[in-house]
């Protein structure tokens, strides 16, 4: 025990923030005027802290074995300093762990299992998410086109960026895979005049989007279905497809089949915008230092991240040609800090909302888990342990064009100017839609 305390004292002195640790017997180590204090009731959690296993320390906080005092930003600064190694280059992630991860992926990503895993996260409580998301409840990376943007404006900028990249046109058939609370679905219909279909496996989200469609008078050309992407029965292929914040749930073993399914849903010449979290490391099956295990247990069971190179491989294997890829990693770090700060400012209302869904113990555990998840994810994107890629792909139709466009399959533009310099679309059927109801 003396050796462990010596290690802890040494590590606390090297941190970028003042941190204190209280032992189970009451003894305190570290700074007297600490910005963050951890009060331990469990000796094994002390061992995890000394060895840099911050995911295990996080689990101990969720389980009530460690009490936290201080801000999440201070805690994350301390956590980064406590790491013993880069979590995307964890030496214990040998090739055999990748093999085991692939075998596990094959086993867990059935249609019913995926639905249960998604509902575990997204059906926690709509009112809980509403406390810290923007008014449209966009639960994915925002796009801070202007650094002074609020989160709400940056989310709208992201929605429009997706629509611009897809070159949405009035009357086109548009599919949103993993439609969430409906923000992109409605934005595309109201601003770009498309006939929009969304799918989700979250019962709460499905009910919410149906209410929005009815309230906004869009029932004739916007619809949402409660189904898995593998179960969608389409009358004919769609002109454009978006998948935002969804393919993280697909699993590495199913990724090739996922893109093949999307290709079959997409009309030849049509575009896919795949927006999702990617791994920061090329070979790691999950984040090290116990962080991947924490997310699996408390936040996203069954979630798996692939490096962008692996995603592009599977996309190409399915017959989709990547025509543009953009990494929005810094944007997601800022988005997550905005969510984290909003939740921290509403801890008691959040607890009351969760109490209405479950008992005190489960409510407190869920709140502690989400506090750590949001702030920890913000740290992960800041440090490059994870990334966020928008990958635009075309289902080639073999049309080689003519004149100056010779060789531009599927009439895709030669430059990106259309994404960033064109004026907002003038084909909107509702150029100034009212704010979405919460």
Tokens describing residue 273: 């915008």
Which of 156, 153, 242 minimizes the C-alpha distance to 194? 242
3-state secondary structure of 165: helix
Q: What is the predicted pLDDT for the residue at 291?
A: 74
pLDDT digits (tens, 9 = 90+) for 147-173: 999 999 999 999 999 999 999 999 999
Angstrom CA distances, 249 to 20, 36, 114, 228, stand at 38, 34, 7, 11
Asked if 175 and 272 touch (Cβ cutoff 8 Å), the reply is no
Percent pLDDT > 90 in the chain is 55
DSSP type of residue 307: B
Structural domains of the chain sorted by starting position, each given as residue range(s) with its CATH number in brackets: 2-82 (3.30.1050.10), 107-420 (3.40.50.150)
Averaged confidence pLDDT in the chain: 85
Residue-by-residue pLDDT tens, the chain, 438 positions: 677 788 888 888 889 999 999 999 889 998 889 999 999 998 888 888 888 888 899 999 999 999 999 999 999 999 888 886 777 776 454 444 454 455 444 445 456 555 444 444 445 788 999 999 999 999 999 999 999 999 999 999 999 999 999 999 999 999 999 999 999 999 999 999 999 999 999 898 999 999 999 999 999 999 999 999 989 988 899 999 999 999 888 888 889 999 999 999 999 999 999 999 998 878 766 666 567 777 777 765 667 888 999 999 999 999 999 999 999 999 999 999 999 999 999 999 999 999 998 888 888 988 999 999 999 999 999 999 889 999 999 998 876 655 555 555 666 777 888 888 654 444 444 444 444 433
Burial (CB count within 10 angstroms: exposed 0-12, middle 13-18, buried 19+), residue 183:
buried
Q: What is the predicted pLDDT for the residue at 435?
A: 41
Asked if 397 and 162 touch (Cβ cutoff 8 Å), the reply is no
State the maximum Cα–Cα separation within the chain, in Å, rounded to a whole number. 80
Cross-strand partners of 177: 199, 243
Tell how far CA 385 is from the center of its chain. 14
Pairing mode, if any, of strands 321-327 and 386-394? antiparallel
Q: pTM of the prediction? A: 0.87
Cα distance between the two ends of the chain: 53
Q: Cα dihedral angle (125, 128, 129, 135), rounded to 10 degrees?
A: 120
CA 158/CA 109 separation, integer angstroms = 29
Place of tokens 């055999």: 96
pLDDT digits (tens, 9 = 90+) for 186-220: 999 999 999 999 999 989 899 999 999 999 999 99
CA 322/CA 255 separation, integer angstroms = 15
Place of tokens 């080639």: 396
Q: How many residues does the chain have?
A: 438
Positive or negative torsion for Cα 194, 200, 205, 211? positive
């Amino acid at each position: 025990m003396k050796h462990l305390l010596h290690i802890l004292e040494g590590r606390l002195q090297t941190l970028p923030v003042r941190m204190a640790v209280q032992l189970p017997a009451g003894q305190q180590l570290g700074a007297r005027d600490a910005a963050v204090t951890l009060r331990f009731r469990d000796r094994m959690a002390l061992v995890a802290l000394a060895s840099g296993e911050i995911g295990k320390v996080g689990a101990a906080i969720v389980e009530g074995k460690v009490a936290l005092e201080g801000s999440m930003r201070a805690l994350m600064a301390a956590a980064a300093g406590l790491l013993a190694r880069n979590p995307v280059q964890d030496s214990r992630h040998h090739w055999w762990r990748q093999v085991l991860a692939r075998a596990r992926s094959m086993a867990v990503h059935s249609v019913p299992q995926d639905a249960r895993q998604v509902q575990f996260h997204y059906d926690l409580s709509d009112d809980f998410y509403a406390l810290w998301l923007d008014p449209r409840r966009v639960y994915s990376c925002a796009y801070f086109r202007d650094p002074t943007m609020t989160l709400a404006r940056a989310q709208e900028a992201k929605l429009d960026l997706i629509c611009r990249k897809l070159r949405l046109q009035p009357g086109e058939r548009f599919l949103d895979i993993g439609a969430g609370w409906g923000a992109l679905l409605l934005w595309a219909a109201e601003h770009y005049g498309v006939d929009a279909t969304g799918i989700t496996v979250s019962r709460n989200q499905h009910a919410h989007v149906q209410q929005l469609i009815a309230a906004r008078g869009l029932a004739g050309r916007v619809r949402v279905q409660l189904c898995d992407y593998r179960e969608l029965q389409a009358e004919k292929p769609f002109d454009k497809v978006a998948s935002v914040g969804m393919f993280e749930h697909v699993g590495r073993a199913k990724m090739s089949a996922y893109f093949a399914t999307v290709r079959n849903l997409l009309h030849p010449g049509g575009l896919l915008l795949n927006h999702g979290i990617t791994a920061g490391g090329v070979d790691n099956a999950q984040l090290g230092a116990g962080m991947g295990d924490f997310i699996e247990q408390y936040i996203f069971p069954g979630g798996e991240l692939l490096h962008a190179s692996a995603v592009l491989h599977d996309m190409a294997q399915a017959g989709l040609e990547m025509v543009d890829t953009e990494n929005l990693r810094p944007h997601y770090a800022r988005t997550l800090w905005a969510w984290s700060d909003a939740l921290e400012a509403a801890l008691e209302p959040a607890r009351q909302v969760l109490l209405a869904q479950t008992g005190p113990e489960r409510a407190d555990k869920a709140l502690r888990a989400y506090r750590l998840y949001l702030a920890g994810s913000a740290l992960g994107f800041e440090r490059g342990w994870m990334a966020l890629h928008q990958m635009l792909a075309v289902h080639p139709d073999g049309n080689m064009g003519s004149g100056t466009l010779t060789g531009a399959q599927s009439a895709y533009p030669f430059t990106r100017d259309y994404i960033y310099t064109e004026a907002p679309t003038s084909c909107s059927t509702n150029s100034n839609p009212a704010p979405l109801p919460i």
